[in-house]
Structure 1
Amino acid sequence: MRPSRAAELRQETVDMFYHGFDNYMNIAFPEDELRPVSCTPLTRDPHNPRNVELNDVLGNYSLTLIDSLSTLAILASAPPDSKRTGPKALSDFYDGVAALVTQYGDGRAGPSGRGVRGRGFDVDSKVQVFETVIRGVGGLLSAHLFAVGELPITGYDPQNADIDIEEHPIAWPNGFKYDGQLLRLALDLAQRLLPAFYTQTGMPYPRVNLRHGIPFYVNSPLHENTSLHPRKPEESPEITETCSAGAGSLVLEFTVLSRLTGDPRFEQVAKRAFWAVWSRRSNIGLIGAGVDAEDGHWIGGFSGIGAGIDSFFEYALKTHILLSGHELPNQTIPNHITHESWLDPNQIYSPLSDKDNSPDSFLEAWHHAHAAIKRHLYSDMHHPHYVNAHLSTGSPQTFWIDSLGAYYSGLLTLAGELDEAIETHLLYTALWTRYSALPERWSIRDGNVEGGLGWWPGRPEFIESTYHLYRATQDPWYLYAGEMTLKDITRRCWTECGWSGLQDVRTGEKSDRMESFFLGETAKYLYLLFDADHPLNKLDASYVFTTEGHPLILPRKDISRRPKKVRNEKSLQPYFDDSFTNTCPVPPPLPHLSGSATAARTDLYNAATLIRLHQVPNIHNVMNLDSQPGRSDTDDQRTSVISNHTYFPWTLPQSMLPADGMCIASKQRHTSFIEFPSNTQQSVGSAFNIVFGNSNLIRMGSEGIAVNGLSGLKIGMVLEEPPIASERGWRVYSIGSFLLGRDEKIFISRDILSDISDPLFHRVRDAVLVDILLQIEIPNMVLDHNSTSTDTPSSKTKPIVEVGDSDLGATNIFNSLLQQLTSALREPVATFGPEPAPKIDYKYINIPAITPVGVGVAPLPDILEAPNPNLKANIESLSWRRMYFADQTCQGKLPDVAPKQHQIIVMRRGGCSFSEKLAAIPSFAPHRNGLQLVIVVSDDKESPDEGEEDVGAFNLIRPLLDEEQRTPAGVTRHRPIPMLMVGGGEATWELLKTAKSIGMRRRYHVESQGLTINNLVVL
């Protein structure tokens, strides 16, 4: 984009901001917001306290002015132009601060602290804590940092900012003397929010009254010691549900407030609330949207990246950035105020640790949160997007994206996840291109607005991400995307008295409200996008934008008069993990033909087709389209549309069409569906029927789905490649009416699969691994009719049974769940007469075993497979009862009785080769009571010996039989002896000695079209 065009867009953005700001100041100030359609002020609804959509935000404290001050300070650095944008914005910044102080006082306790509207924010307004912090406290702090020169304004250099400004105020041209009024007002407002933090969990209640506190939350510990204003009837009962974003996204504002004032209360309550949310993440690392502030329980059980959760992730990363290079905070409160109004919620909790305060801990939280999102919420079906999934299982729950989620691409950019940021931003670019705005929710599945939620209130998230991506890549694609956004807002949202939101992006119906964030964020990010040389874009410092778009920074010098106890952070272990992105990648090079690496991506049209752009007219490619304010999507304009969105360049001008452009097929994930015919009779009867009745499927907690029968089932699979999967193969993502999370498994009995012969779904025997089942006698036990005979192995043998992250581990978990379910469903049995006689009971232990390789390998014996003891309660004996223990067998021939009268010979590994061990076994005639298997017990070790193969499972190494089997006389055996090796060393050796009988269970997996179904476990 040529510089002159960027300058034109910059000026159009300035005009857009002032059209809204001037109308607010002339019509609505000192009220909260503006009704741009009816040209009247907009404030809270005193007649309906339950109108939370309005009252949560508006508190009768001139919200729009506070939200706009940092934007004015940014516009004050505009380059010289004919309209004197910079000087005008700086003058308006001076006047805006002065007007605010006139209304609310200067934050002091004396007469100057009372303004026209009251003393500070002493108003009878029940507001949302989160919105008040990010808009009110954050807006005041950001404006203060600009006022004292900590954030840059071109040409503004307050000479006495380095000294105590209360004693030596900064004189402004309008006659106002700035001595920290905004900081004191921020402190006043924040102190009025502290009662909300008196909870058992550390998470704040969602709402607070700026004058009366929280009389409507009767369970707060605050009520034990403090008598507040009685709650009003219309304010009872009050819900205690907050959200992860609302509870965990206060750290930036409250930390800066604490560091500037020397009052640690705010930083500590905000950090404690953040960790209270994070500590409740699920076992797969996801956090929910709704949470109860009193008991800490998740409400709803859904997880995503959008509404209710969004800024929690944002503040995890940005807190690390903000705090990097600064000392740990002082937690000692310099309480010089003895008035009863001094509240400190930290007094009901233990102090935070140094780790809780460390910036590296927040980076660690971000990394783990992002890893969980990428694992469980990120879907690359067609084009990457994020689904809403179940907290515990990761199974998809809804298939819509919301406009708030557009922030995530910008956050990924800050985190160095550039490719993921670019590809996900494309989806929102396509969505904006289709609707000339972002609908609140859009259905991926239906290809339309979800549930009628089609409004766009002027949200900044898409523009915010566009700004960050342009700063990181310098790709002109993002300038043109910004131009499209600016033109659409100008065309669709202009009113005579300001800028409205859209009630429905499809029809262009306007809403009679100009949100404060439209001036505080939307206009700000658009301006910074088009002003590449703005001092904030050149600032080499750890500053961040809050979730409300207010830039914040921690000064390197202590500008507070209060002393702070400094603690050295060097004693803390810095967080680092090689598996996470720890450096920012080099942006993709800009091609010299089109000049846009994004436009040259091979997945460009995957996003377009997912949003169905090719099915709608391209309003952005209209000939002679008049984009003047007030023009809308009228029928006469639609008649001049010359194409849909099938062709390049989407939002880019035709001049960027590559000379050697080509057609690229849209990416399609390889999927497969299998539908089994219905059968009124179950093909195989099993104990599953006892547990599940006639149901074919049942969810087994967070582990996955158990399958009782395949009749009438439909299975959906997707082909996955490394690194997403451990190996190339299928993953079942849907079965019947269930959708599966990425790590969930399908459990199915081998009996159900025994008669199935289908090239798309067939059972395959594992040629490497088998399971050895030990029957261990437990004497002198009285059998309970309601008990099973499958006790959990002792702690001594647990490492043998639960080896690694294997299918065996999943099977054990499944069997345990199944056992509990069987016990719960069984009818109690009444007993009459004398006590039952003592009876022998058994426990069963699985030990994984591995087959050997080499010319001396013999096939395993063809015996009846050992039953699953969790499903078969009455097992008298397994296949083999007679064992001979021979130690290492490297010192000569074994006794003849060993193979003739024993079914299994157990040896220790080591001392000689495996072939030499087998050569020590005398010749014998085959017999059902004779030798059928040799088991070698190995001590676990880290790496294979030369000539051995490590299969990467259970730390077992495949034995090598590198020569044909021979007898002790050196004659080739006519019937080679089967051999298996088990791990566990001495513990396994002792277990085998105590076994009453031993059986063998084959392992199976299911293949489809020659590839393994990786998440299907055959029991």
Structure 2
Amino acid sequence: MAFDERTGRPRRVPHDELKLGRERGWKPPSGFRASELGSGTVGERRDVPRVQHDGPLRSEDEGEEERRVVEERHRRDWVKRACMHAWTGLSEHAYGHDEVQPVSNGFSDNYAGWGASIVDSLDTLLVMNLSREYNRARQHVAAIDFTYLVPPTTVPWFEVTIRYLGGLLSAHELSGGDPLMLDRARELGDWLLPALATDHGLPLGRYALRHNPDGKPAGRVTLAEVGSFSLEFTKLSQLTGDDIYFEAVRPLSLSLSLSLSLSLSLSLSRLGALLPAHLDAAAPKMLQGEYTFGGLADSYYEYLIKQAQLTSFALDQYPRMYRDAVDSAYEHLIRPVDVVPGRDDLTLIGTVQLGKWQPSLQHLTCFAGGMLGLGARLLDRPHDLDTAVNVTNACAWTYESSKTGIGGEQTVFYENDSSSRFMGDLLSMPRAVLTLPLPSSACSRTPRGSPVGVRASDRRQIGRPETIESVFYMWRLTGDRKWQDVGWTMFVNWVRHAITPAGFATISDVNRVPEKGKGRDDSEESFVMAETLKYAYLLFSPRDLLSLDDYVFSTEAHPFFIRKPGGPARPEPLWTGPDETREASFTSQLGEGTWVQKWARVQQVRPLLSFSSLSASSTSAHLLLTTRLPRRRPPPSPTTPGVPSTSRAASPPPLPGATLSGLPRTRSGAPRSKQRSVSRPLTSTRTSGRRRTRAEEGEEWEVVGSERVLVASPFLL
């Protein structure tokens, strides 16, 4: 392993040592440069259809349009306050960690420990005009050391790409070109790039940074993992001018296309142009198993049409593969739901396992309403928009039909021709029972299910965004205000039941109202702020804010600007610039490590220390064990001209059944004061005017300014 002589950090694998793109045989068209996509010089279509509805809005009558505009603003303000509630909980209890645990006020580090919730939410902060919070988050971004992982020692490549790389790229564009975000995005992209240097260009599921696969097989991977990074790496090429990131992505689609054609001739269990949830490009005849638009496969299909839009259809392979996949889905996966009384407008995208279709609606599948609607407009497939509306109706129905008004992780319907669908059905009764005299009521056919038509369900809900995402798309695509009402009801019910003093928890059972400290699980995913709240906010925002004609949303809801021939190279900035006071007070070098990373290093080093190693120089140990604490928040910065701040704007009308404000509130309702956040419980004492904290037996720390310094320990003489 090579190290940088200046910084002492590991070196990244040089690009020229990686078997990427052209080294694997891909030859770009003459004159093609991914970095110039959008300039009109590399074959982009100039006649790409408009996506958003730009006609008159569909509402009850013209007279109430003014009331609707006021209502939109109030609803938008409530979503913004919900986001501030989640951000404050993260800041107080888990700042610098990946995610907050909103029930215990703890934290978790499942995504390398680089602060996933902060980076994932950068563009949400910009969209909601939270510049003060964004400026604080910039300090964290600058400090991240991508060479250091909070255990384990490998990163989930797919999750790191969509949450971190996507968040940095989107923040760079929405901020008007914040150079810090692009610098960190390029560095992270270089760390992730070697994972694509496998035999067929499929990335490794879990990747050890600094490792070069050198053309070796990637092995068995999931479809979502291999098909959900083209947007991020294409955008990185566009912004940096370096085509290598796009060249690393391009061979993957070629490999999948080749494997697809080979498997069609080798396997009788293939379902047209659909791919299974697990695959191995080196063994195309093994491309079989579960077929779904849900978990493990979802974003592969989504990225086909979105990559076509981002590249302005400069390459015909992406729209062709998307058309073929959707046509195959109509044949094998998509069917109407006809077991719910009174509803003939529900469509289900099910799952095929072992050749049998299952009427299972995963919440993860609910993104498909938005995807089908987007594809309908871009490829002139009007029938797809009708399907998109009915798919979104089915997902919204799972919310409407639960006791909390929240949809669960999975809903399994009865099949229409199933003999077990009705109570009292003679065909469903045991043979022994049929020999007995039966009352007339036993011959009646009462539909089973709670709600009717549902056979089983997974009732957890982790704050997922897929349904509100499709509701947002339906609003932008159709202009029908009913979708705003559907989304508002979903948002209010979720806030009412998921809110805790530290954020928004997972609902353990959507058919049981949480009460007396039960019913909420101790987790809050980073996508709650990055996706769920962003889509809810945009649902009630002016339609020209992140228009679907100007932006492509990644699978993690990071908006990427679409360059167009003759159009601007970047969007109008949503950022007013850095806080000069905060910039002047921040002295860390780029990538020196967040305070969470520094503390993790201390925890790793401390067991190795001994009296003999420290006796020569306790001063060195003193410096080694110095960690940086997050600074207190500065006073509120002036508001952007023309945009009201949260603190100065008039409060919106009350939100039914939930308490939200800029600060989390205690059970008694009194606001809690903001305390300095630390990663472990400490008890404070005061000795001779100095503030001291005791962390573990025999250790004593002193807080001096922004530093926490170990001043007494069994390891120090």
Q: TM-score, normalised by structure 2?
A: 0.58
- Aligned: 1:303 with 2:295: no
Q: In structure 1, give the amino acid aligned to 2:206.
A: R
Equivalences for residues 518-917 of structure 1 within 5 A: 518-537=528-547, 540-541=549-550, 543-555=551-563, 626-629=656-659
Which of structures 1 and 2 has the larger relative contact order (alpha carbons within 8 angstroms, sep 6+)?
A: 2
Listed one character per residue, the Cα deviations across residues 380-422 of structure 1 (whole Å, up to 9, x for unaligned) are 352421221258xxx4332211001100011111112221111
C-alpha distance in 2 between matches for 1:138 and 1:401? 28
Aligned residue runs from structure 1 range 267-416, under 5 A = 267-281=246-260, 283=264, 284-292=272-280, 295=283, 298=286, 301-324=289-312, 358-380=314-336, 382=338, 383-389=346-352, 395-416=355-376
Aligned residues: 443
The residue number in structure 1 matching 2:112 is: 59
Q: 1:482 aligns with which of 464, 473, 487?
A: 487
Q: Could you tell me how far 1:277 is from its partner in structure 2? A: 2.8
Verify the 8 A CA contact 1:206 1:246 in the aligned structure 2: yes
CA distance in 2, matches of 1:494, 1:188: 36
Deviations 1:721-776 (A, max 9, x none): xxxxxxxxxxxxxxxxxxxxxxxxxxxxxxxxxxxxxxxxxxxxxxxxxxxxxxxx
Distance apart, 1:135 and its partner CA: 0.6
Measure how far apart 1:34 and its partner are.
0.3
Whether the aligned pair in 2 keeps the contact of 1:302 and 1:389 (CA below 8 Å) is: yes
1:517 matched residue in structure 2: 527
The answer (yes or no) to whether the contact 1:37–1:513 under 8 Å persists in 2 is: yes
Paired position in structure 2 for 1:252: 231
Aligned partners of 1:205 and 1:293 also within 8 Å: no
Question: Does 1:130 find its partner at 2:172?
Answer: no
In structure 2, C-alpha distance between the alignment counterparts of 1:192 and 1:118, rounded to whole Å: 8
CA distance in 1, matches of 2:562, 2:203: 24
Partner SS, residue 280 of structure 1: helix
CA offset digits 1:696-737 (Å, max 9, x no partner): xxxxxxxxxxxxxxxxxxxxxxxxxxxxxxxxxxxxxxxxxx
Structure 2 residue matching 1:536: 3-state secondary structure: coil
SS of the equivalent of 2:393 reads helix
Q: What is the DSSP-based 3-state SS (H/G/I as helix, E as strand, rest coil) of the residue aligned with 1:418?
A: helix
Question: Letter of the aligned partner of 2:235 in structure 1?
Answer: V
Deviations 1:166-204 (A, max 9, x none): xxxxxxxxxxxx5x2211211222222223223222211
Q: Does residue 469 of the first structure (1) align with residue 474 of the second (2)?
A: yes
Describe the shift of the 1:274–1:453 C-alpha distance in structure 2 as closer, same or farther (beyond 3 A): farther
**Shift, 1:124, TM fit:** 6.7
- The match for 1:19 is 85
Residue by residue over 1:646-693, the C-alpha shift from the partner in whole angstroms, topping out at 9 and shown as x without a partner, is: xxxxxxxxxxxxxxxxxxxxxxxxxxxxxxxxxxxxxxxxxxxxxxxx
**CA shift at 1:294, angstroms?**
5.3
2:14 match:
none
Q: Which runs of structure 2 are paired with 1:203-282 in the superposition (5 Å)?
A: 203-210=202-209, 212-213=210-211, 220-221=213-214, 240-281=219-260
- TM superposition shift of 1:311: 0.8
For the Cα contact (< 8 Å) 1:28–1:34, is it kept in 2? yes
Q: CA deviation at 1:297?
A: 5.7
CA contact (8 A) 1:124 1:209 kept: no
Task: Give the counterpart of 1:95 among 136, 145, 160.
Answer: 136
Counterpart amino acid of 2:398?
A: L
Who is 1:424 aligned against? Answer: 391
Q: Secondary structure at the match of 2:203?
A: coil
Closer, same or farther: CA 262–558 of 1 in aligned 2, 3 Å = farther
SS state of the match for residue 74, structure 2?
helix
Task: Please give the per-residue CA displacement for 1:354-377, whole angstroms capped at 9, x wherever unaligned.
Answer: xxxx43221111111111111221
Between the aligned partners of 1:322 and 1:297, the Cα distance in structure 2 is 32
1:223/1:422 Cα in 2 relative to 1: closer, same or farther (>3 Å)?
Answer: closer
**Partner Cα distance (1:60, 1:183) in 2:** 20
The residue type paired with residue 441 of structure 1 is Q
In structure 1, stretches of 5+ residues that fail to align are 45-57, 77-88, 105-116, 150-177, 215-219, 225-238, 326-357, 561-623, 631-1019
Kept after mapping to 2: 8 A contact 1:260/1:558:
no
Report the AA paired with residue 430 of structure 1: W
1:444 maps to which of 398, 401, 413: 413
Assess if the C-alpha contact under 8 Å between 2:198 and 2:216 holds in 1: no
Question: Hey, what's the Cα distance between the residues in 2 that align with 1:503 and 1:270?
Answer: 39
Distance in 1 separating the partners of 2:216 and 2:392:
47
Equivalent in 462, 476, 483 of residue 457 of structure 1: 462
Q: Residues of 2 paired with 1:41 and 1:260: CA distance? A: 34
Shift of 1:145: 0.8
One-letter amino acid of the counterpart of residue 21, structure 1: W
> How far apart in 2 are the matches of 1:275 and 1:517?
31
Which position in structure 2 is the counterpart of 1:966?
A: none
Q: Secondary structure at the match of 1:302?
A: coil
Distance 1:222 1:418 in 2: 42
* Offset, 1:249: 1.3
Kept in 2, the 8 Å contact 1:251–1:274? The answer is no
Q: Quote how far apart the aligned CAs of 1:222 are.
A: 5.0
Cα offset for 1:61?
Answer: 0.6
**1:222 to 1:364, Cα distance in 2 relative to 1, 3 A:** closer
The alignment yields a C-alpha RMSD, in angstroms, of 2.9
What is the SS of the residue equivalent to 2:165? helix
Greater helix proportion: 2
1:260–1:625 Cα change, 3 Å? closer
- SS of the equivalent of 2:401 reads helix
Measure the CA separation in 2 of the matches of 1:68 and 1:628: 23
Offset, 1:312: 1.0
Unmatched 5+ stretches in structure 2: 1-66, 265-271, 339-345, 377-383, 415-420, 422-448, 571-653, 661-717
Greater per-residue strand proportion: 1
Residue 707 of structure 1 aligns with which residue? none
- Alignment of 1:433 onto 2:400: yes
Asked if 1:497 corresponds to 2:499, the answer is no
2 CA distance for matches of 1:127 and 1:195?
13
- Aligned counterparts of 1:199 and 1:295: Cα–Cα separation in 2: 14
User: How far 1:127 sits from its partner (Å)?
Assistant: 1.8
Residues 274 and 501 of structure 1: CA distance in aligned 2, closer, same or farther (over 3 Å): farther
Contact 2:350/2:359 (8 A) holds in 1: yes
SS in structure 2 opposite 1:29? coil
| Structure 1 position 71 matched with structure 2 position 124 | yes
State how far apart, in whole Å, the 2-side matches of 1:143 and 1:287 are: 33
SS at match of 1:200: coil
Alpha-carbon distance change, 550 to 272 in structure 1, aligned in 2, over 3 angstroms: same
> Corresponding residue for 2:587?
none
- Cα 1:370–1:551 change in 2 (3 A) is same
Q: Corresponding residue for 1:48? A: none
Aligned to 2:109: 43
Q: Deviations over 1:529-575 (max 9, x none)?
A: 011245323x753x200000000125569989xxxxxxxxxxxxxxx
Q: Write the distance in 2 (CA, Å) between the matches of 1:186 and 1:450.
A: 46
Q: Deviations over 1:275-306 (max 9, x none)?
A: 32343336422211111365456465121211
